[in-house]
Structure 1
Amino acid sequence: MGVFILFTTFIICLVIGVPVAICLGVSSAAYLLFHADIPLVVFAQKIYAGVDSFVLLCIPGFIMAGNLMNGGGITDRIIRFASAGVGWIRGGLGLTNVAGSMLFAGISGTAVAEAASIGAVMIPGMKKEGYPIEFAAAITAAASTVGPIIPPSVPMIIVGALTGVSVGRMFMAGAIPGILLGLGMMLVCYILAVKNNYPRRPWKGWKELWDSFLGAFWALMLTALIVGGLLSGIVTPTETALLACVYAFIVGVFFYKGITIRQVPKIVIDSAITSAALLALVGIANVFGWIMAAEQIPQTIATTMLSITNDRTMIILLINILLLIVGMFMETIAALIILFPTLMAVATGVGIDPVHFATFAVLNLMIGLTTPPVGVCLFVCANIAKEPLWPVIKAIFPFLVGNIIVLFLVSYIPQLSLWLPNLLFGVK
């Protein structure tokens, strides 16, 4: 009866369009009120316990660093550099879109921020140059999923808080899969560009490439600071996030001069609101996850999967299918908090490395950000393009196919995610 109340309330709220965090909270409260003999004060206690983690302090830090750099004019500089590098190829603005997202990924750490920032510049620009508007929205949405794979990554931070797996190792594990994801989308873009004769811009020489690199230099160095801090071992991921904020403030105010001192308080407030919404989701999802654990739902899922097969190859396939379906309906962070500990127990039970599992699980759920009916990045880019959702869904389908191919390569070739962290941190 308790499980029925929990999931029926959750599904009803989801269907009528209630935000996922509220869906989780309402269904958890309904369970406590109508089934469990537990005082409601436990609800608040479990929310607090869910966010009471030193690792989660990374999230406000990286969000504020990204907002400071974006406010300082970073998006335009990165796009100019990417365009100078690949804009002369057939479908060059599409390739620039993907390359810009790959470079921006090292700063934002979140897919939605990337879709909004890159999309605001690239979607109108691609339309002006003669690209179909639905193609511009689709490639922007698809490319934004690179953000949480290439370090830094907010979902990887959440996973570290949930499981105790090293955030530094997971950051490094995402580097090669993130690059593969970007190259895969570039290949799809080029094939479509040749087929549909999309435009390209003329090559303007090495001087433009060098000048655009110098323009983007300080922005790109933020990624170097983050990665260098983690690899050196001098600072923790949380301390790295705080250093990134200081660096972004100095660069945005004194080097790029895209923001003034007066604008900084607004950026801090915006970052706090974004962080608070994300951490509220983490806290409320922790209550939902605690109830699921009390009802032994994770154990049932694990037992069911292992009763079907204990073959490692088939377990990876089943986990990927499950997460692809879940990603179509549930927000990434909520899905991670609810399902990740259970599925990791299944994965490690058949010999899958936790870092490898974390990488392909996060990659899988990132793809869900561009699949209907709850593809957040899809909605963001369709809204920027002022285009109905269905044409954008049709246009994104080839990119989804390419991304799923990369997902299965990462899932079945562990060294794609393990080679770099093992090289830098040693085999664990």
Structure 2
Amino acid sequence: MTAAVLFGSFAVFLLISVPIGIALGLATLVTIFFSGSLPIPFLMKELVTSVDSFPLMAVPFFILAGEIMGKGGISERLFKFANALVGNKTGGFAIATIITCMFFAAISGSGPATVAAIGGIMIPAMVRNGYDKKFATVVVAAAGSIGVIIPPSIPMVIYGVVGSASIGDMFIAGIIPGLLVGLSMIAWTYYYSKKKGFKGTAEPTSLKKISAAFWDAKWALLIPVIILGGIYGGIFTPTEAAVIAVVYGLIAGLFIYSELKFKDLPKVLADSALTTATVLIIVGTATAFGRFLTIEQVPNKIASAMLSISDNSIVIILLITILLLIVGTFMDTLAAIIILTPILLPIAVQLGYDPIHFGILMVVNLAIGFITPPLGVNLFVASGISGLSIETLSKAVIPFFFAMLISLLLVTFIPQLSLFLLSLGG
């Protein structure tokens, strides 16, 4: 009965449009009052202790690094390099946009941040070059979801903390799945562009042009190399890497590219603080919500129920996939990871899944939620940029949904896509 009150009150708060972080906290508070099994200070204690974590400090620093780099001229240079590579091909502008999002994903760690940074530049540019506005908008919205798959990734940090998994290993394991998702989007974009006659630029590409664009973008392209190389090489932890990314972004934006001004820093800090506060409220309340579930032994009951359906590992993992796809449509990715990891990870381990591999499955699965309504955060950000309605974008993004779904199934049933790079270091 207690679990029913917890989930029921949470559903009611969501239906009346209470923000998810607040809804989780209020649902926990209502259930504490109803059950009487825990003291009221339980919620306040969890809000504090859940964010009192050294690995979790990576989150605000990666958010700040993404804000700095988004306003420091880095995204524009990344696009120029991607455009030099593929701009003259069929659908070249759209493909270059996806590649740029993949590059920026290796900097920001956030889906909505990637859409905001790239969409403001690329949606108007694609429309000017003859692309359909709907298609241009959903290209950015869909490609932005790669921001949480290619490392560094904020959801991977959260999974590492909740699931007691190595965040560095999660970062390395996300590289190939992130590239796979990007390539699946590029394949659909090329097919659609060829069908609709979206031509590339008339300018021929050349090694000289690519080299010049690469040289101009070299400081931006070095960022993921430094972050991942430093973590995997044992030079610094993911949290320290996030701090280094902030310092590097400031140097590149202020002094190398000189597009970030000192007068811009207060707004950059304010924007990143607002995003960080939102994330940490969700982390705190979702942790309290999940802890209450654990006390009521709900994870054990769900695990037993799922395992009683079938002893076939393929059936169980498909059920988990369907559950995550549904949850991703209405729940924030971070909240879903915090609440569901303690429930689903033991089941996955019992089925023989590596915890790192399963973490990647969760992140890729929930990344699809960035483009699926009613939550669909990336769609809302892209809608704000283009002015198109969510209903219009929800229909146009369907092919990208299936491209991501195919990639998810490949990652699910071919573990080496996640674990191959880790095996090289082992």
User: TM-score, normalised to structure 2's length?
Assistant: 0.97
Alignment of 1:58 with 2:58, yes or no, is yes
The residue type paired with residue 393 of structure 1 is S
CA deviation vs aligned residue, 1:243-279 (integer Å, no higher than 9, x gap): 1111111111110111122322332232222112111
1:3 alignment counterpart? 3
CA–CA separation in structure 2 for the residues paired with 1:268 and 1:381: 23
CA–CA separation in structure 1 for the residues paired with 2:333 and 2:220: 27
Match of 2:397, SS?
helix
Alignment of 1:351 with 2:365, yes or no, is no
CA–CA separation in structure 2 for the residues paired with 1:195 and 1:185: 15
Alignment of 1:36 with 2:32, yes or no, is no
Spell out the pairing of 1:143-222 with structure 2 (5 A cutoff): 143-206=143-206, 207-222=208-223
The residue type paired with residue 214 of structure 1 is W
2:266 alignment counterpart? 265
Alignment of 1:123 with 2:149, yes or no, is no
1:320 alignment counterpart? 321
CA deviation vs aligned residue, 1:128-148 (integer Å, no higher than 9, x gap): 212111111111111011111
Residue 67 of structure 1: CA displacement?
Answer: 1.4
Contact residue 91 and residue 198 of structure 1 kept, 8 A: yes
Alignment of 1:405 with 2:406, yes or no, is yes
The residue type paired with residue 152 of structure 1 is P
1:227 alignment counterpart? 228
Residue 123 of structure 1: CA displacement?
Answer: 1.0
Residue 360 of structure 1: CA displacement?
Answer: 1.1
The residue type paired with residue 82 of structure 1 is A
1:84 alignment counterpart? 84
Spell out the pairing of 1:2-21 with structure 2 (5 A cutoff): 2-21=2-21
**RMSD of aligned residue pairs (Cα, Å):** 1.2
The residue type paired with residue 244 of structure 1 is A
Contact residue 357 and residue 415 of structure 2 kept, 8 A: yes
Residue 49 of structure 1: CA displacement?
Answer: 1.8
* Ranges in structure 1 where 5+ consecutive residues have no aligned partner: none
Contact residue 90 and residue 198 of structure 1 kept, 8 A: yes
CA–CA separation in structure 2 for the residues paired with 1:410 and 1:269: 38
The residue type paired with residue 195 of structure 1 is K
Residue 53 of structure 1: CA displacement?
Answer: 1.2
Contact residue 85 and residue 205 of structure 2 kept, 8 A: no
User: TM-score, normalised to structure 1's length?
Assistant: 0.97
Residue 208 of structure 1: CA displacement?
Answer: 2.4
- Percent of aligned pairs sharing the same letter: 44
CA deviation vs aligned residue, 1:290-337 (integer Å, no higher than 9, x gap): 111122211111111111122222222111111011111111001000
Match of 2:50, SS?
helix
Match of 1:230, SS?
helix
Residue 362 of structure 1: CA displacement?
Answer: 0.5
Match of 1:145, SS?
helix
CA–CA separation in structure 2 for the residues paired with 1:15 and 1:187: 37
Alignment of 1:290 with 2:291, yes or no, is yes
Deviates more, 1:369-378 or 1:199-208: 199-208
CA deviation vs aligned residue, 1:73-122 (integer Å, no higher than 9, x gap): 11111111111111111111110111111111110000010011111111
Residue 418 of structure 1: CA displacement?
Answer: 0.3
CA–CA separation in structure 2 for the residues paired with 1:325 and 1:189: 26
CA–CA separation in structure 1 for the residues paired with 2:379 and 2:268: 25
Provide runs of 4+ in structure 1 moved above 3 Å.
none
Contact residue 184 and residue 403 of structure 2 kept, 8 A: yes
Match of 2:374, SS?
coil
CA–CA separation in structure 2 for the residues paired with 1:57 and 1:28: 25
Contact residue 2 and residue 36 of structure 1 kept, 8 A: no
